[in-house]
């Protein structure tokens, strides 16, 4: 499943403000479902219109686990803005997610 | 080393041979098949090399492709390890014999935001195993996860699940772990491993390092609990099994010439028993090496492979000196019947010497082994260790039916003399060489102090070492020494 707010970047958004996030899951486990829901909520609250989430199911694409050095599931990778950041867990601890992704408050 | 296989091992458990020299003998065939084995030890003890050897030999010799999940080493280091075993990592990877997945765990860089598991790792492993139809797996060193992941409760549960998964998939696995202070591994991995735990150790005593291997646990298999010395060299690991715990070697009735016809005469006209051990002791310059050389030459002339361990002189020096007494060994070296191995006794520990000796015997499969002199090994250790080392070596040689000659330098009144007494009980035959000066004329004397299982001459003869070779004169009636009291134990020292 792939959910993204928009294919094109909104014109107003500066490149540095745009978040490209990739969430690795393995099948529809409770943790995976929770992680997707938690992530969407946090992004809507904090990054409205300035993010794109890509969900990778490793059961379907196991070869992708190597590239991002995935060990734990779920793992969220912040691909943009640099530097790449990685957080693990079902994203239920919102504060940890905000700190881990280094999310700036919405202006 | 078929003869050296401990006879006590009777096992119905399926084993996966490691291909590590000596280890498969110690464990009665290798590691438990389809099970997880923990290999632990401190940094630099050889864990990673052990794991890699298990994998590479498995892939190359036993047709079992292997996956390595490497949590620590870089590709360059791993490639060097594989290359040291004589294989090219890229080539093996290309041929789908080996697959390495480098797992990087960023130390404390990962924020944890709720529940998780290690499915990512499982998926990677499963994917790799499937890709090359692997039968063996190495996780080196999975403990790295402890530094990357904070929640050790999750981690421990996941490790348990991982080991179960490996067994469920009938994979033979080696997991490495760093030695802890009170426990075998820093994070107590041994709690999860039920079947086989091997501990590697690297000790430095008196500035000489010795590596030892111990099988701590091996369920369903009687294994030696001793520590086995092992060696890491250009060809990887070799373990020295402590052979034949029982004295069960067959005693040969076959005889081999000493290389000196009169000496053969002194021993029922037939020489030594094949597979027996001979000690030649004497002070400096009495002709010990010459005796060893003529024994060697006679064996080579019979077409037998000889292995000559020189602890004092370089091979070229030995060859030159022997030429001067008309013993030309060079043709046999050229014909690859005679192999020299020279080393400084103090360069490595006694156990390592033993390991080297074993290894070369395995390699060349000689019929005759010469160690010249064992005295110099004493400088590398105490008398007790040399005795136990020699005991193991002599046992091993006997099981393999290899005739052996040990030279021993003595000084009268010196502690070395006691060494001779200590080791002589292990020897079947003891030949004593002496200097004497009856009527002011110096001469060398030889007599057979003991020789088990035969009616040997006890009378001393003059030993003449000249450019014409080695000759034994008539029985000395006027010898300066009283006829030595040679008890069967051979402990009596003349004078």
pLDDT tens sequence across B144-179: 888 888 888 888 999 999 999 999 999 999 999 988
> What is the structure's pLDDT at B58?
95
Residue B64 tokens, joined: 């079992």
Of the listed ranges A53-67, B22-36, B422-436, the least confidently predicted one is: B422-436
Cβ count near B192 (within 10 Å): 18
Q: Spell out the residues 6+ positions from residue B473 whose beta carbon is closer than 8 angstroms to its own.
A: B461, B462, B463, B464
Distance from CA of B102 to the nearest CA of A (A): 8
- pLDDT at res. B69: 94
Q: Which residues of chain A lie closer than 8 angstroms to B121, CB-CB? A: 71-72
In the predicted structure, residue B198 carries a pLDDT above the cut 60: yes
Q: For residue B227, name the pLDDT band (cuts at 50, 70, 90).
A: confident
Give the span between the Cα atoms of B494 and B357, in whole angstroms.
32
Does B485 score more than 60 pLDDT?
no
Tell me the C-alpha distance between A10 and B318, whole Å.
87
Beta bridge partners of B408: B281
CB A73 within 8 A of CB A25: yes
Q: How far is B143 from chain A (nearest CA, A)?
A: 13
> Does the pLDDT at position B412 exceed 80?
no
pLDDT for residue A102 is more than 50:
yes
Residue B489 in this model has a pLDDT that exceeds 80: no
- Contact call for B113 and A70, based on CB within 8 A: no
- Which chain A residue shows the shortest CA-CA distance from B125? A62
Q: Between B161 and A16, whose confidence is greater?
A: B161
Interface predicted TM-score (ipTM): 0.84
pLDDT (average), residues B50-54: 93
What pLDDT, on the 0 to 100 scale, is given for residue B219? 84
Per-residue confidence (pLDDT) for residue B107, from 0 to 100: 64
> How confident is the model at residue A4, as a pLDDT?
46
* Cβ <8 Å between B119 and A88: no
DSSP string, chain A: -EEES-SSPPTTS-GGG-EEEEEEE-SS-HHHHHHHHHHHHHHHHHSTTSEEEEEEETTT-TTHHHHTT--SBSEEEEEESSSPEEEES-S--HHHHHHHHTPPPP-
Average pLDDT of B299-306? 94
Q: Which residues, at least 6 apart from B127, have a Cβ–Cβ distance to it below 8 Å?
A: A62, A63, A65
Q: Which residues of A touch B (CB under 8 A)?
A: 24, 26, 31, 34-35, 38, 58-59, 62-63, 65-66, 69-76, 86-93, 96-97, 99-100
pLDDT band at A75 (very low <50, low <70, confident <90, very high): very high
Residue B109 has pLDDT above 70, yes or no: no
B interface with A, Cβ–Cβ < 8 A, is 101, 103-106, 109-121, 123-124, 126-127, 145, 148-149
Instruction: Test B103 with A69 for CB contact under 8 angstroms.
Output: yes
- With a pLDDT cut of 70, the percent of chain B lying above it is 83
DSSP bridge pairs for B341: B309
Higher pLDDT, B266 or B4: B266
Higher pLDDT, B137 or B284: B137
**pLDDT tens digits for range B24-33:** 888 888 999 9
Lowest mean pLDDT among B39-53, B119-133, B194-208: B194-208
Give the confidence band of B80 by pLDDT, cuts at 50, 70, 90: confident
Return the residue of A nearest to B118 by Cα.
A72
Q: How many angstroms separate the CA of residue A11 from the nearest CA in chain B?
A: 32
pLDDT of residue A47: 87
B103 to chain A: closest CA residue: A69
| pLDDT over threshold 60, residue A14 | no
| Radius of gyration, CA atoms only, chain B | 27
What are the beta bridge partners of residue B477?
none
| B120 and B148 Cβ atoms separated by less than 8 Å | no
Contact B116 A96 (CB under 8 A): no
Which of these ranges, B12-16, B421-425, B443-447, B482-486, has the smallest mean pLDDT?
B482-486
Category of A69 on φ-ψ map: left (φ > 0), alpha (ψ -120 to 50) or beta: left
Confidence of residue B9 (pLDDT cuts 50, 70, 90): very low
The Cα–Cα gap between B473 and B263 comes to 10
Interchain pair B115, A90: CB under 8 A? yes
Q: Give residue A15's pLDDT band: very low, low, confident or very high (50, 70, 90).
A: low
Q: B239-243, B258-262, B342-346: which range is least confident on average?
A: B239-243
Q: How high does pLDDT run on average in chain B? A: 83
User: Is a pLDDT exceeding 90 seen at residue B434?
Assistant: no
Instruction: Give the angle subtended at the CA of B73 by the CAs of B69 and B79, to the nearest 5°.
Output: 90
pLDDT of residue A70: 93
B109: left (phi over 0), alpha (psi -120 to 50) or beta: alpha
More confident residue, A53 or B345: A53
pLDDT in tens, B251-288: 788 999 999 999 999 999 999 999 999 999 888 888 89
* Predicted confidence band of residue B96 (pLDDT cuts 50, 70, 90): very high
Instruction: Please check whether residue B462 is in contact with residue B444, taking contact to mean a CB–CB distance below 8 angstroms.
Output: yes
Shortest CA gap A75–chain B (Å): 8
Distance CA B26, CA B40 (A): 17
Top pLDDT among B9 and B310 is at B310
R_g of chain A, CA atoms, integer Å: 13
Higher pLDDT, B438 or B8: B438
* Confidence class for position B106, pLDDT limits 50, 70, 90: confident
Q: Do A87 and B113 touch (CB under 8 A)?
A: yes
Structure-model confidence comparison of residues B245 and B210, the more confident one? B210
Q: How far is B70 from chain A (nearest CA, A)?
A: 12
Most confident of B50-64, B204-218, B396-410, B473-487: B50-64
3-state secondary structure chain B: CHHHCCCCCCCCCCEECCCCECHHHHCCCCEECCCEEEEEECCCCCHHHHHHHHHHHHHHCCCCCEEEEECCCCHHHHHHHHHHCCCCHHHHHHCCCEEEEECCCCCCCCEECCCCECHHHHHHHHHHHHHHCCCEEEEECCCHHHHHCCCHHHHHHHHHHHHHHHHHCCCEEEEEEECCCCCCCCCCHHHHCCCEEEEEEEEEECCEEEEEEEEEEECCCCCCCCEEEEEEECCEEEECCCCCCCCCCCCCCCEECCCCHHHHHHCCCCCEECCCEEEEEECCCCCHHHHHHHHHHHHHHCCCCEEEEECCCCHHHHHHHHHCCCCCCHHHHHCCCEEEEECCHHHCCHHHHHHHHHHHHHHHCCCEEEEECCHHHHCCCCHHHHHHHHHHHHHHHHHCCCEEEEEEECCCCCHHHHHHHHHHCCCCEEEEEEEECHHHCCEEEEEEEEECCCCCCCCCEEEEEECCEEEEEEECCCCCCCCCCCCCCCCCCCC
pLDDT given for residue A26 in this prediction: 95
**CA of B94 to nearest chain A CA: how many angstroms apart?**
17
The answer to whether the Cβ–Cβ distance between A71 and B106 falls below 8 Å is: no
Q: Do B123 and A58 touch (CB under 8 A)?
A: yes
């Amino acid at each position: 499943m792939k959910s993204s707010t928009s294919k094109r970047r909104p014109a107003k958004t500066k490149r540095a403000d745009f978040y490209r996030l990739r969430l690795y899951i393995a099948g529809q486990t409770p943790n995976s479902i929770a992680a997707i829901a938690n992530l969407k909520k946090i992004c809507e609250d904090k990054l409205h219109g300035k993010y794109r989430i890509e969900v990778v199911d490793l059961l379907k694409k196991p070869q992708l686990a190597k590239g991002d050095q995935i060990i734990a599931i779920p793992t969220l990778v912040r691909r943009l803005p640099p530097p790449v950041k990685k957080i693990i867990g079902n994203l239920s601890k919102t504060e940890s997610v905000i700190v881990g992704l280094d999310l700036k408050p919405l202006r | 080393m078929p003869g050296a296989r401990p006879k006590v091992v009777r096992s119905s458990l399926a084993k996966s041979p490691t291909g590590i020299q000596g280890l498969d003998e110690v464990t009665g065939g290798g590691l438990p098949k389809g099970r997880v084995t923990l290999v632990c030890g401190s940094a630099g003890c050889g864990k990673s090399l052990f794991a890699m050897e298990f994998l590479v030999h498995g892939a190359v010799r036993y047709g079992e492709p292997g996956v390595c999940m490497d949590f620590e080493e870089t590709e360059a280091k791993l490639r060097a390890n594989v290359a040291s075993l004589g294989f090219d990592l890229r080539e093996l990877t290309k041929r789908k014999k080996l697959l390495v997945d480098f797992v990087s765990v960023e130390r404390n860089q990962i924020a944890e935001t709720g529940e998780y598991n290690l499915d990512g790792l499982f998926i990677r492993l499963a994917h790799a195993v499937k890709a090359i139809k692997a039968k063996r797996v190495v996780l080196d060193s999975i403990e790295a996860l402890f530094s990357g992941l904070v929640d050790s409760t999750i981690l421990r549960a996941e490790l348990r699940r991982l080991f179960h998964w490996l067994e469920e998939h009938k994979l033979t696995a080696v997991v490495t772990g760093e030695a802890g202070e009170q426990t075998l591994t820093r994070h107590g991995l041994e709690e999860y491993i039920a079947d086989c735990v091997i501990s590697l150790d690297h000790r430095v005593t008196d500035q000489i390092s010795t590596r030892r291997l111990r099988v701590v646990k091996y369920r369903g298999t009687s294994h030696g609990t001793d520590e086995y010395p092992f060696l890491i060299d250009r060809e990887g690991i070799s373990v020295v099994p402590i052979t034949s715990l029982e004295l069960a070697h067959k005693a040969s009735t076959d005889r081999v010439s000493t290389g000196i016809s009169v000496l053969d005469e002194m021993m029922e006209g037939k020489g030594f028993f094949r597979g027996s051990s001979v000690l030649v002791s004497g002070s400096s310059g009495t002709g010990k090496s010459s005796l060893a050389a003529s024994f060697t030459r006679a064996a080579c002339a019979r077409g037998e492979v000889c292995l000559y361990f020189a602890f004092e002189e370089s091979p070229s020096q030995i060859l030159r000196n022997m030429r001067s007494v008309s013993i030309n060994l060079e043709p046999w070296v050229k014909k690859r019947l005679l192999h020299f191995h020279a080393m400084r006794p103090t360069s490595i520990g006694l156990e390592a010497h033993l390991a080297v000796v074993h290894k070369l015997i395995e390699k060349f499969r000689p019929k005759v082994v010469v160690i010249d002199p064992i005295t110099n090994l004493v400088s590398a250790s105490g008398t007790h260790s040399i005795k136990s080392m020699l005991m193991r070596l002599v046992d091993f040689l006997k099981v393999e039916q290899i005739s052996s000659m040990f030279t021993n330098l003595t000084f009268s009144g010196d502690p070395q003399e006691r060494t001779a007494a200590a080791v002589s009980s292990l020897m079947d035959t003891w030949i004593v060489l002496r200097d004497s000066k009856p009527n002011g004329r110096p001469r060398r004397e030889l007599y057979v102090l003991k020789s088990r299982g035969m009616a040997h001459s006890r009378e001393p003869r003059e030993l003449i070492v000249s450019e014409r070779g080695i000759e034994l004169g008539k029985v000395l009636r006027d010898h300066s020494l009283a006829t030595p009291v040679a008890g069967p134990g051979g402990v009596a020292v003349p004078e």
